[in-house]
Amino acid sequence: MRNARIAAAVLFLAIGTGGGLAQDSGSDTLLGELFRRNVGTREQMFRAFPPHRIVGNVYYVGTESLASFLVTTPEGHILINSNFEANVPVIQESVAELGFRFEDIRIVLGSHGHADHMEGDALVKELTGAGVMAIREEVPLLEGIRPGGKPHPVDRILEDRVGGTTLVVHLTPGHTPGCMTWSFETVENGETYDVVIIGSVGMNPGYQLVGNTDRPAIIDEYTRAYERLRSLTVDVPLGSHPSMYRMAEKHARIGGAVNPFIDPQGYIDELDLNERIFRLRLEEQGAD
């Protein structure tokens, strides 16, 4: 697969380990610890993390606890996760610090329709003219995100489809009905690497799986998400929260002989951790 390109003709969008978590606790305790690990404090949500290159043409431009990624191309750039609207100036400054023009962003994508990941879409579109794209199943949630009363833009509806020549969006539902995981290839030092940005497979404490009348298919959705995620080939795992791939720890090792973000086992570890809690939750709620 070639490096990400922005031209519409070729933009065919298809749709960390658990160290420190209490091993013998109930699912609510584990979910609480995982939630705090991912979301962090309010200060961490809005404090910039040093922008940096992850691999190839993929860069980090988010905060300490809310991930935002820039994929650069000669035809224009792709932003994945605008985060809260108040995060947009932080992202803008991080893009500039890396030597790129924020105005050259041409496509805005996201992980799922929660404000901490996609509330800033309208402002990014206003500042850059970029098109906002999302999978069909997530549009109703996105339409409910209206910072300052602004409607949430969705300029192109994506379908869940495996394949493509640029970025591939995978429907990995459960956390939200249209949770989006992105996969693509990039090249570094002549080597091609598979990058995957997990949308989320998380649950909050108190989350109802068995007998959820609002979303009766929720168990099947999570099950399908794990099946899809485990089917992917991954060299560089990333996520909507940087703790999902141990960003801070890996960032501290940048400059060594090996790129620390190349971590296929880390991807498996993160899925194993979340699925173990998911299965425990089902057992506690009396699933057959």
Beta 156-158 vs 131-135: how paired, if at all?
Answer: parallel
Q: How confident is the model at residue 228 (pLDDT cuts 50, 70, 90)?
A: very high
pLDDT, one tens digit per residue, over 242-274 is 999 999 999 999 999 999 999 999 999 999 999
In a domain, 2, yes or no: no
Residue 108 within a domain: yes
Range of the structural domain that residue 241 is part of: 27-284
Q: Which tokens go with 112?
A: 């799922």
Structure tokens given for 8: 């519409």
Residue 14 maps to a domain: no
What pLDDT is stored for residue 161 in this prediction? Answer: 58
Q: Is residue 3 part of a domain?
A: no
What pLDDT band is residue 12 in, cutting at 50, 70 and 90?
A: very low
Instruction: Please report the pLDDT score of residue 65 as a whole number.
Output: 97
Q: What percent of the chain clears pLDDT 70, i.e. is strictly above it?
A: 89
Does residue 188 lie in a domain region? yes
Q: Is 7 a domain residue?
A: no
pLDDT of residue 16: 34
pLDDT band per the 50, 70, 90 thresholds, residue 204: confident
What dihedral do alpha carbons 86, 92, 98, 101 form, nearest 10°? 170
What's the confidence (pLDDT) of residue 166? 79
Looking at the predicted structure, is the pLDDT value of residue 159 above 90? no
Q: What average pLDDT does range 128-140 have in this prediction?
A: 95
Residue 15 included in any domain? no
pLDDT (tens digit per residue) in 189-203:
999 999 999 999 998
Q: What is the pLDDT of residue 9?
A: 26
Based on the structure, what is the number of domains in the chain?
Answer: 1
The pLDDT of residue 22 is above 80: no
Q: Does 123 reside within a domain?
A: yes
Mean pLDDT of the chain: 89
Report the CATH number at residue 110: 3.60.15.10
